[in-house]
Structure formats: structure tokens, C-alpha cells
Amino acid sequence: MSNPIPGPDSLLALAFPSDPQISPDGQRVAFVLARVEEEDPQKPDKEFAKPRYKTHLWLSDGGPATQLTQGEGRDSSPRWSPDGATLAFVRASKGQGGQLHLLPVNGGEARPVTEFKGAVQDLQFSPDGRSLAFLSTGDDEDKRDERGEARVITRPRYRFNGRDWLPERPARLWHYDIGADKLSEWHAPETEINSYAWQPDSGGVLFVSSTDELRATQGQQEVYRLPLNGTPEQVTHWNSGIGTLILHPDGGRFVLVGRPEGKGSPENSHLFLVEADGSWRRLDEQHDHGVGNMVGGDCHVGALPEKPVWLDDKTLLFSSTVRGSCGLFRVTLDGKVTAQDHDAQAVIPSFTASGSSVALIRERADRFPEVELNGKTVTALHDRLTFPVRTPERVTFQNELGEGEGWALLPEGEAKVPAILTIHGGPHTDYGHAFMHEFQLFAARGYGVCYSNPRGSAGYGQAWVDEIHGRWGGPDMDDLINFFDRCLEACPRLDGSRSAVMGGSYGGFMTNWITGHTTRFQAAITDRSICNLLSFGGTSDIGLRFWDDELGLNFHRRADALKLWDLSPLQYVEDVKTPTLIVHSVLDHRCPIEQAEQWYAALTLHGVPARFVRFPEENHELSRAGRPDRRIKRLEEYLGWLEQWLKE
């Protein structure tokens, strides 16, 4: 820890673990480690540094992890063969999309299997080890933009955050016969396959897709059965969102993670057991918390699997967000839920399991994410931090539903410090006990960071989430301001006369909303924000359904238009006086950049000091997984704005 006052470039020293995959015997873990290096270490550009993520596979048998793959390629998605002798993985190199490779674990060179023009994803060995399945667009190419050709749109969903233009044909399911070294296209779906799983007898798969493109945009999905030699058969009439599915060991039943018909994004995801006859019941009825990790962190680069796993034929292991934490829980077929590994002060963002053995990543607000195998930490990534970390202080607030909570992260010393209220996205995500480099950086630079989970956040039960349905900017704003006031009371070092409000995505919406309804903050930073709910509906990749889910309204209905305008920060821009930094990414299709453009134009016309920073090639995930140099520039802009408006 050589630099007690870090800069944004402290990010460069970090290494980010992801995708921990436990071996079938439970004695080893393979995972991905992303490090930041020059794009071409052999030819560094002295005038323009080009730090980029480089990813390799690492391996541990319970001792300190060692690097398994080498080279300039980006390696990811390690998957164990059932006998534990081989790792399938994806390697991207020389501008080509990631291709399937097979690597003998105990020695030998990686062997390429595919040479597609498109990338390979979602690798899965069959249970008998004879086959591999994966998804890919194969040799499809789209060079219309490169050739300057017109792009004709006929489908309701054609762009998506992180992917830009969607392919004309969805990725196909491929089958690789390992013994015969034979690769073949298995199934070409009409709409995208969102998830799939092998049947226990290796006779085929079950997959999740939609009956047509319009239903896909509405999050209405079904489960299909696909034999090795045959055509798909629809096995559910779910008509709602399905995140993933887990086949029971008997092969006849399965559990899906999703929401029942009629429930949209405000509904927590739960476990539903679907019987062979199609009947179903919620398995985690006793557990009023969603399945999966919803606690945000900015040190998650790469895949973070959290698919539930059958420990035996009666017990399912799953992760769940509880208040500001995420842990592992067991549920039995009779619906009994018990904690297996739940630390109320920690977050497990990813895990895999085999029998009684578990590989996972664990982090705390003051501890960088580390990989664990059967309770033993096998990495030492926290040691790479170049500055000492601070531990946040819990601060509570009250509302009509009871007690809410948040945290204040203060710098060292006794002096008064500027106060920042930061607001998470979602809105149905969570702040909590995940490590936040950004917050630690701000605290180390002399700012007090206040962050909380207002009504609408995940982790506090369904009633807490439902409280803001149709009421964005109401109970949530009340909680945020109430919490900030409690922080000022509990932490006298916080200087309320030098304060800023900031947030991204929904947090950007709330930042815009708050500055249109109060002038108490001296600065604002709005990142990947929303200001106009009407135009968002027709431009966002989730716009066709999102306001129906969240507000019971939609932009294409005349009766709803004025109500959506009433909920738009842009209507109140004449009341904004707060100097505002606007940060947005050009390829953000979740909260399109036209939202930032409208907000900047309106602030400018009203004489509000404003600065607009646009990032090329980045999407909605810039702050968490964007290119390292751009993440650094973003943090520099944040600190520069805070320095300009809050420092004495």
C-alpha cells in the first residue's frame, strides 16, 4: 500500500476474479483473472498509454492459485469435463470472437475446436462427457455498417445494451461430438435461447426461449425440450420471465428461476418447481428475498455464475440477497429454507458447487473480492490495493414500512469533509457490503460517501420493492433525503453545506429528479441517466415493457403520456440550479444517450453550469466493466467536478 492518497489510476493495480468453476470431484477450482496491461507490451506507446484487460485461466487445489493459461489471447469460460481431465474454455485473439478450446488439465497444449467468425458462448459438457454444447452465430457476418449500407428493421427488438445491433439470426445451439471430433449445428431457434441445460441422461437439453419476437421483448418465455435427434417441444405455458433452469436429478422435473405470469421486473425472482405434468409451485415460499445477488460492486469484470445447484435429490443450493448482503441458502423439496453460508456483512456474487463442495467469490465493503474453495481463500488480490481501505459506518432511517439502512464511508482524520449522497441503479438493486473502489477512492480523497437502500431496493422483502410502483420520485426520494439527514446527524464531520448528489441509471434519474425538487446540494453528477420517460420508452432496449412493469404506464398510450411526463425530471428542469456533470456512453442502449443530450441542452438553455462527458464505444456498464482508461477518465471527471464545487 504505497500511496495513501490514491488517484483514479489506482484501478490499474487491481486484478478481478470471475467465473469460479469447481471440479467434479470438488477438489479444484478454475477461474478467470482479469488484469490490466498495455495493449501490446512489446510496443508501448509512450505518448498514449493503452491499458486493456487481459484475462487468463487460473487453477487451485486449495492452495495458492497458479496461472494455467498464457499468451496474449483473452481466455474465459472454463468448464470441466465430467471426469475432471479436461477444461473447455473460450479464447479470443487477434480481433476474432472467442473460440472453443479444449485443454488437458494435467499437461498439454490447448486445442482449438472452432474457427467461426462469430463468438462461442455458454459451453456445457453433456453429463456423460461425450459431447459439448454451446451457442454461436457461426460464420454469420454483418458488414452493412462497414459497407455503408442501409439497415432495414422489421423486428421489435434490434439493438441491445452491450451487444449493439442484434444479429439477423439468433445464435444457434451447436453440438460437438468429442470422440468423433465432429461439429454440427443442432438447433436454429426462432428467438434467442436465454438458457439451457443438459438432461441427466445426456439425451438432449431443455432450453428457454420465447414463442415470438414480440413476446421476447415483453419478457415472456417458455421452456422447450430438445432431444439429440428431433425437434423442440414446448413443455411450459409460463408466459413470463425465466432467468435459468435447473433439471432435477430424476430428469423429469426441473426448477426455474423467474417470475410467475403477470409479474414484471419489480417482482423478486424466486424458485419454482415444475413437475413432469406441467404443474408447478413456488419452492422458496418461506423466503421473502430474491434469488441471486443484487448487491452492486464495481470490481466485477467478467461472468459471475450463480445458478442454483442440486446438492442431492431433495436439496437445492441457491444464492439470495438479504438486506445489504448476499449468501448461500438451501431449500428442500418441502420448502424449508436454511442458511448454508450467509455472512450479514459480506457478499457472495458468484458460486458453483459439486456435492458438498463449493467454489465461490466473497467480498466485503472493506475487503476486495477473493476466490474461495471449500472455505479456503486461494487468492490474495486484496494485497494488490495501493491504499488502505476504510470501513463504512451503518446509518439507519425510518419510514412507514419500518427501518431502512445505509452506510457512511468517511476519510481518516477529524476534520469536516464534503458529503456525497450516491444513489444506486435498478431501482431494484442494492447497495451494501460489496467492495466499491469508487467509494474508497472518494473517501481517500477527502469526501464522505453516503449510500443507502431506499424503498424500491432489493433485499428487504417484496413490500419494500412494491412501495415505489407507479411512484418513482416519491417514497424513494423521501427515504434518500431522510437517510442523508440521518448521516449528517450521526457523522458530525460531514459538512452539509458542501454536498453533492450523484447516481447512475435509475440513480441518474433520481439525481435529475432531486435537483429539480431541491437546491440543497451544491453539485450533482448524473451518469447514464433518464430525464424523459416518454422518449426513453421508444429508444431503450427495454423500453417496450419497462414502464408497464414499473409504473403501470407506457409511452405509446395517449392516456398515459401526461402521467409519464409528470414523472419525467425534464418537466422540472426550470427549477434546477445545481451545477451538473453529465456522464454517458454512446453505445448505452439501456439508458440511451439521447437522455443525456436532452438534459444537457435543457440545463444549458436555463443557464445551469453543466459539463457533458461522452464515452465512445462504451455501454451501460462503463463504471463496472468499461475499458480501463475510460474508467479512469470517468473517475477523473468525477473528482474534478467535486473539487470545483465542493472544496473550500
Residues annotated catalytic, as ranges: 505, 620
Provide the residue count of the chain. Answer: 648
Q: Report cis status (omega within 30 of 0) of the bond before 427.
A: yes
Angle at 19 between CA 505 and CA 344, to 5 degrees: 65
C-alpha–C-alpha distance, residues 208 and 398, integer Å: 41
* 3-state secondary structure at position 615: strand
- Cell numbers representing residue 214 in the block: 414480440
DSSP 39: S
Joined together, the cell numbers standing for residue 394 give 451503518
DSSP state of 240: B
Grid cell 490499474 in the structure block, residue: 12
User: Among candidates 302, 341, 337, which has minimal Cα distance to 624?
Assistant: 302
Q: What is d(CA 486, CA 90) in angstroms, rounded to the nearest whole number?
A: 49
- Distance from C-alpha of 62 to C-alpha of 65, rounded to nearest angstrom: 8
Burial of 202 (0-12, 13-18, 19+ CB in 10 A): middle
Residue 534 · residue 555 · CB < 8 Å:
yes
The residue written with cell numbers 453529465 in the block is 582
| C-alpha of 424 from chain center | 13
599, 531 contact by CB (below 8 A): yes
Letter string b/e over residues 58-92, b meaning 16 or more CB atoms within 10 A of that residue's CB: bbbeeeebeebbeeebbbbbbbbbeebebbbbbbb
Rg (CA), the chain: 24
Measured over all CA atoms, what is the biggest interatomic distance in the chain, rounded to whole angstroms? 72
Task: List the end-to-end C-alpha distance of the chain, in Å, as a whole number.
Answer: 28
488-521 burial code (b ≥16 CB/10 A, e <16): beebeebbbebbbbbbbbbbbbbbbbbbbeeebb
* C-alpha cell of residue 605: 438553455
Q: Which of 28, 36, 82 is nearest to 58 (CA)?
A: 28
C-alpha cell of 121?
Answer: 458462448
- Give the E-state strand segments of 374-515 in sequence order: 376-377, 393-399, 402-409, 417-423, 448-452, 494-504
Place of cell 426455474: 256
Phi and psi at residue 547, in whole multiples of 5°?
-70, -30
Q: Are 486 and 409 in contact (CB under 8 A)?
A: no
SS (HEC) of 511-550: HHHHHCCCCCCCEEEEECCCCCHHHHHHHCCCCCCHHHHH
